[in-house]
Structure 1
């Protein structure tokens, strides 16, 4: 079977036939494979003066080069991708965690009734008491607290904290189902002409 030089073909057996090489990134000398180098260049590696490299398909899938509609552009010889990924906070959709079972209340002790009331706080009269009656400034500062706290309504209390983190941070496998097979490249054959 006559093939074009540089053809990559899958084989069901575990070796490269005569005139072919496994696609496993080997380095070849330019002087020995001038015609093949003129086709591959350094797309797959090498220094381009004395050597070049064959494609390395070990553990990799094939992807057509170019710019598919709505897809990321790919250039010949590009190597990318990973078998698994560990998501970060930036990969997660916007979401929230609810906290339940929290109750908060606020109480304020007032001097009730006020003892020795005055209308401005002093070093001895610093507790808020009930206001007096009649015109003028209310005497609301007392020198002692009342016997029992009085709940204050309409006062909000801020509660903050951290919800216990969960998860192990293990990477997610992102590989498609696969079948490993031998890909080989033709080192010799017909030299392809451009149309």
Structure 2
């Protein structure tokens, strides 16, 4: 089976066969690879005087060039995309969270394993400098059922933004395999 110069294939071996090279962005000498340079030029890099680059398909997939129905245009050699992204709150779907409390009377001032409850008019100004002031704001877990269960939705302003702003993987399932490009072979005719 003959191949065309510039043809790219998937190859399961851990080496590039004779007459082929890995699609890893390597710079090649124009004087040694004139036929391939005539086909791809500096589309993938190089100075165009002494060197040109092979396509770099490491950690990338290939897209066909052209314009998609509805807008996006992809040109030969264009690269885009990242393996990890950090989502901003503006990129998340609009949503709300509810904070609930019990309408029953509070039984403890210790928030550990507890949830907000009715203070029944109890106030404190300011709380004493102990870890848990003697003001009862909470009722303890396990969560009860019936009238003592959290059953009152508090104002959304009582919640704050949370999150670690760490990037998440932005990759489809994959298998690592080699892409190789033909340095030798039949020079394809233009049709």
Provide, for residues 64-111 of structure 1, a one-character-per-residue CA deviation record: whole Å limited to 9, x for no partner. 1111213521110011101121111220222334466699x9xxxxxx
Whole-Å separation in 2 of the counterparts to 1:71 and 1:173 = 26
Whole-Å separation in 2 of the counterparts to 1:160 and 1:173 = 31
The TM-score with structure 2 as length reference comes to 0.66
Bigger CA radius of gyration: 1
Provide, for residues 48-71 of structure 1, a one-character-per-residue CA deviation record: whole Å limited to 9, x for no partner. 111100011111111111112135
**Match of 1:37?**
37
* Structure 2 residue runs without a partner (length 5+): 102-117, 122-154
1:188 correspondence with 2:188? no
The TM-score with structure 1 as length reference comes to 0.65
**Match of 2:18?**
18
Aligned pair count?
Answer: 141
Whole-Å separation in 1 of the counterparts to 2:50 and 2:40 = 14
- Structure that is richer in strand per residue: 2
Greater alpha carbon shift after TM alignment, 9-18 vs 69-78: 69-78
Aligned-residue CA RMSD (Å): 2.3
**Match of 2:90?**
90
